[in-house]
Structure 1
Amino acid sequence: MKREMTRSLILATGLVALVLVCAGSALLLWDNVRVAEAADRQDVAAIAAVVAVTTDRDDLRAAVARTAAGADGRIAVHLVLGDIIGSGRATHAEVAAVAAGAPAPSSWRVLPGRAVVELTEPAAVVDVETAGEIGLLVVIAVLGSAAAVWLGGRRFRPLLRDMRTLADAARAGGTRVRATGPAELADLAAAVNEVADRTDRLLAGEREMIADVSHRLRTPLTALRLDIDVLDDSVVANRIRGAVRALNRDVDLIIESLRPVGPLRPAECDLTAVVRARMEFWSVRAEDQGRWCEVDVPDPPLPVGLAADVLAAAVDTVLDNVFRHTPEGSPIAVEVVAHAGWVTLVVEDGGRGVSEPDEAVLRGHSGGSSTGLGLAIARAAAESTGGSLHVERGRLGGARIRMRFGEAGRTTGSAAPRAWRLWHSTR
Structure 2
Amino acid sequence: MTRRITWTLLALTSVLLVLAVVPLAVLMTARERTAFRDDQRAATRVVAAAAEEHLSDRKPPTDMRRELDTAAEAEDCAAVYDVSARLVASTPCTAAQGEEAQELVGGVLAGHEPEPPENEGRLLTAEPAGEVRQPAGAVVLARSAAPRDARIAAIWGWTAVIGAAGLTAAVLLSVRLARWVSRPLSALDATARKLGEGALDERADVKGGPPEVRRLAATLNTMAARTQALVHGHRTMIADVSHQLRTPLAALRLRLDVLGTGARGDTAVELDAAQEEIARLSRMVDGLLAVARAEQTTPLPAEVRVDEVARERVAAWSPVAEERGVRLRASEGPALTAALGIGHLEQILDNLIANALDAVPDEGNVTVGHRRSAGSARVWVRDDGPGMPDGVKAVAFRRFGNPEASGSGLGLAIVHRLVTVNGGSARLEDTPGGGLTVVLDLPVWDTAR
TM-score (norm 2): 0.42
- Mark the structure with the bigger radius of gyration: 1
